[in-house]
């Protein structure tokens, strides 16, 4: 659900792996924030999905479908994909710069605009400690478990906002390091 509709740098994350799934579910980003859910299936699997075997809370709504079509038409463009790639690279560059100064990350990983910065051994289990410090700097931050600082910004986040957000993150991390 979280890697669909451009988040991974492709329309769906499976495209990064050279495979084709039998069933693909999509929601959240499919509607650009508007509630919708969808399921796509290969012809072989679809034959078993007869009336009554599958339901959806948010499927089949005409307004949601129109919103989803507009979102996909906007995102599924070369301009958007190049923008996601460029923004991914900007996030990585900033995170690597922060890490060279402070040594808080063991690994920076991810695809597109779903990025995780794994805490180094010295800061193991302390990803959550960045959250209140970031809030004090005016930055909302996420974690994925106790050891990963997670970033999942808008696919069209302005580059200036990336720079400002990373400056705020660095100030929060500087405070984390001085507390240690």
Pairing of strands 38-41, 23-26: antiparallel
CB 30 within 8 A of CB 71: yes
Which segments within the chain are labelled E, that is strand?
A: 23-26, 38-41, 105-111, 114-119, 142-143, 148-151
Q: Is the pLDDT of residue 7 over 90?
A: no
Q: Is the pLDDT of residue 55 over 80?
A: no
Cβ-based neighbours of 93, under 8 Å, separated by 6 or more = none
Domains of the chain and any CATH numbers: 13-76 (no CATH), 79-179 (3.90.1150.10)
Q: Who has greater pLDDT, 33 or 89?
A: 89
Instruction: Identify the pLDDT of residue 180.
Output: 66
Establish how many alpha carbons lie within 13 A of residue 5's alpha carbon, considering only the half-sphere containing its beta carbon: 25
Q: What is the mean pLDDT of the chain?
A: 92
Instruction: Identify the pLDDT of residue 46.
Output: 92
- Per residue in 74-131, pLDDT (tens digit) is 999 999 999 999 999 999 999 999 999 999 999 999 999 999 999 999 999 999 999 9
Structure tokens at 4: 């669909």
Percent of the chain with pLDDT over 70: 97
Q: Is the pLDDT of residue 24 over 70?
A: yes
């Amino acid at each position: 659900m979280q890697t669909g509709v451009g988040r991974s740098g492709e329309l769906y994350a499976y495209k990064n792996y050279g495979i084709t799934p039998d069933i693909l579910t999509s929601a959240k980003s499919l509607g650009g924030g508007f509630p919708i859910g969808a399921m796509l299936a290969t012809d072989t699997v679809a034959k078993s999905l007869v009336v009554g075997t599958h339901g959806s809370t948010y499927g089949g709504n005409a307004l949601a479908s129109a919103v989803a079509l507009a979102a996909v038409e906007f995102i599924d463009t070369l301009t958007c994909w190049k923008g996601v790639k460029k923004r991914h690279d900007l996030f990585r560059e900033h995170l690597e710069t922060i890490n060279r100064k402070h040594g808080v990350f063991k690994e920076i990983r991810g695809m597109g605009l779903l990025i995780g910065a794994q805490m180094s051994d010295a800061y193991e289990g302390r990803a959550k400690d960045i959250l209140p410090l970031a809030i004090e700097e005016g930055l909302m931050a996420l974690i994925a478990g106790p050891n990963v600082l997670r970033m999942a910004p808008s696919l069209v986040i302005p580059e200036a906002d990336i720079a400002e957000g990373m400056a705020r993150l660095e100030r929060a991390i500087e405070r984390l390091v001085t507390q240690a």
